[in-house]
A = this chain, B = another copy of it.
């Protein structure tokens, strides 16, 4: 009997060329599909909620796969975790209705981008943040962040070379959370994200924080829909897909 399984995945993306299966390089999807093949002896296709780029991490990526099997979710949960490398963990495995589709059914996603804003780089956990020495003006960054909340065309923050027909997305919430020791978390929830959107937003917000542009300039860039006006793409290692909501 064909069943549909929903899995929630945590991974450290440092070693991987992203979520998506690649011809040559190793990917998260590829590792999980290989493990599923070992368990079921069938070729199983894993549908992720969306791609994450090379070096990006996840605390709660979601995917589904269909498989003609007698195995129960618990067996996949145990089996996958024993087969997968230690930087990929299956946090949960559930049986879901055949109609469930990890990408189409996602209502929103939450991302964190971590910046370390202090005099010196991190020694502990250095693969999980973007180090910036010069002090960021949090207040100005927050003023800029206010402009992205709501429904907007995010074309100015889309990565080059991967244009979408529809570049309008709704940002449900976005905020800058401060922790002690100079750690800043940019947290954003939206109904969907364009390629590089969070990292391009962060790169441009950092320009605001450094005083290179004003929060009003940031709004103009958003309104312009022109990628060439936005800031640089922030490095992958600071980004984590926290949660996918259905």
What DSSP secondary structure best describes chain A's contact surface?
mixed
* Selected interface stretch from A122-130, A135-143, A170-178, A200-208: A122-130
List the interface of chain A (C-beta within 8 A of B). Answer: 10-12, 57, 59, 81, 86-92, 119-126, 128, 181, 240
Chain B residues with Cβ below 8 Å from A88 are: 123
Q: Does the CB pair B10–A86 fall under 8 Å?
A: no
Q: Does the CB pair B81–A123 fall under 8 Å?
A: no
Chain B residues with Cβ below 8 Å from A125 are: 12, 125, 128
Q: Does the CB pair B120–A81 fall under 8 Å?
A: yes
Q: Does the CB pair A10–B87 fall under 8 Å?
A: no
Give bound CA distance, A121 to B124, whole Å: 19
Chain B residues with Cβ below 8 Å from A57 are: 124
Selected from B10, B86, B87, B124, the residue in CB contact (under 8 A) with A11 is B124
Q: Does the CB pair A86–B124 fall under 8 Å?
A: no
Give A160 Cβ to nearest chain B Cβ, in Å.
29
